[in-house]
Amino acid sequence: MYCICCKRNNVKPMEIAFPKNQVDKNKNEEDFLWKNEIVESSTNNQSYYRTIESEMINNGAIEIVNTGYGSRHDGDRILLAICDDCIKENLTDGTLLYFSNYISNIGVEDEVDKSKKLYQRRTRLDDLVGDE
């Protein structure tokens, strides 16, 4: 999928980049991007939806962005991709903001504080020069 920042087609579901079996080889990228399957859990008899957000992604992130009230796109769900290089660059300049790490808490507080400072610096500079 194309990165929203650099516009390169370099963010792929892992199964497309590195197919593991014949089933994956027969699927194309669109099969993964618009996947919306109901899966039954064998452990707790619950069902859940499996989407691109459930897949491993090579060279970045692909997420479904839910637009809320107030947007001109109220209720729309948008597929968005960003590559690892653009994530790094945009975290550095405060365009992207670090929120947390769902795997580990080690170093997270420092990263959040750094991101807040970058954001504050950038918004205050914008206020000074009149950028909106």
Reading the chain (132 residues) residue by residue, the pLDDT tens digits are: 999 999 999 999 998 878 776 656 778 899 999 999 998 888 888 888 899 998 999 999 999 999 999 999 999 999 999 999 999 999 999 999 999 999 999 999 999 999 999 999 998 887 788 765
Single-letter residue type at 69: Y
Burial 64-99 (b: 16+ CB within 10 A, else e): eeeeeeeeeeeeeeeeebbbeebbeeebeebebebe
75 and 132 share one domain = no
Q: What is the pTM of this model?
A: 0.83
Range of the domain at 112: 97-132
117 and 78 share one domain = no
12 and 73 share one domain = yes
pLDDT of residue 132: 59
Phi, psi for 30 (deg, rounded to 5): -60, -35
3 and 29 share one domain = yes
81 and 130 share one domain = no
